[in-house]
Amino acid sequence: MSEVTALVAVSAALFAIDRPYSYKIPDELIGSASPGVRVTVPFGRGNRRTEGVVLSVRRSEGGDRELKSIDRVLDKEPVLDEGQIKLALWMRDRFFCTVYDAVHAMLPAGLWYKNGSRRVGDKTVSVAVLQVSGEEAAEAAAQKRMKAPMQASVLSLLSAAGSGSLRDITELTGASTQSVRALEKQGYLMIEHVEVLRRPEYGEIKPAGEIVLNADQEKAFKGLRTLLNAKKGAAALLYGVTGSGKTSVYISLIKEAIRQGRSAILLVPEISLTPQAVAIFSSHFGSSVAVLHSS
């Protein structure tokens, strides 16, 4: 009898025992447990639940060995493509790390799970979404007005709004979280957890003046501009101690790219530096600066 199996890189496997492990894909997970998605699997003699990433999927004839099954799929879509999976396998041999460590290094921190839940650091908001029509919610609110006035207030609000965060609902109606959850048990609404981006407030940013490069900065800029004008893949290392003026070179190079009708991406090495970097670059490029956080 044939079965669908997956080769999985397991996070709990140390380098000495790191290899793709075979797991059976349960019928209900066939299709969703595809290459590049993260899963939870039992591992070791104690079947400790741990994270893994699917490297490949195949259909094979059932052998004598009883395979353990994948517990859960953590991603709706693959977070790695075929090329990235191959890169992770190459990194293992090149850098003496596990495949999972290589995958972990490639993906943003906000994607990672622990015991099937998001790691601390991601900000989520609980949102109540109406599961009946507005007319039904308004009718139920009228019926509950005497016996459960707080639930009635929540239903009345959602009959018009359709959805809202738990925080806003409790503040606007005076209802407790328990009242909202009681309505969820009754089938009137569903509470979902929605991830939101963390973005600091930057305040008003004044435009900066024109940058004047010194001789060393000008020399570095011209060298980098040569690579930019070549319009093909290239890399360069701009060396300088803190405060030596590297940022002015970056800004001048980005301005040159924009002058040519192109765009630029600046990667900030530490999230704590983001407000400072946004302030500096927004003072030169204004509202054209867009900020994306990896976690």
Alpha carbon distances (Å) from 71 to 22, 48, 66: 13, 11, 15
At residue 284, the pLDDT reads 87
Contact 165, 125 (CB under 8 A): yes
CB atoms within 10 A of CB 95: 10
Q: Select from 249, 232, 260, 237 the least CA-distant residue to 284.
A: 249
Alpha carbon distances (Å) from 179 to 33, 140, 142, 184: 37, 14, 16, 9
Report the pLDDT averaged over residues 174-202.
80
The C-alpha atoms of residue 113 and residue 116 are separated, in whole angstroms, by 6
Beta bridge partners of 164: 128
pLDDT at 151 over 90: yes
Report the pLDDT averaged over residues 33-57.
89
Structure tokens at 267: 């990667």
Which pLDDT band holds residue 200 (cuts at 50, 70, 90)? low
Structure tokens at 123: 């900000």
Give helix then strand counts, H and E, for the chain.
9, 10
At residue 194, the pLDDT reads 72
Alpha carbon distances (Å) from 41 to 23, 60, 70, 77: 8, 20, 5, 18
Tens of pLDDT, residue by residue over 235-292, are: 898 887 767 788 899 999 999 999 999 988 888 765 556 677 788 888 888 877 776 6
Which pLDDT band holds residue 120 (cuts at 50, 70, 90)? very low
pLDDT at 199 over 60: no
Per-chain mean pLDDT for the chain: 83
What pTM does this model have? 0.42
At residue 25, the pLDDT reads 92
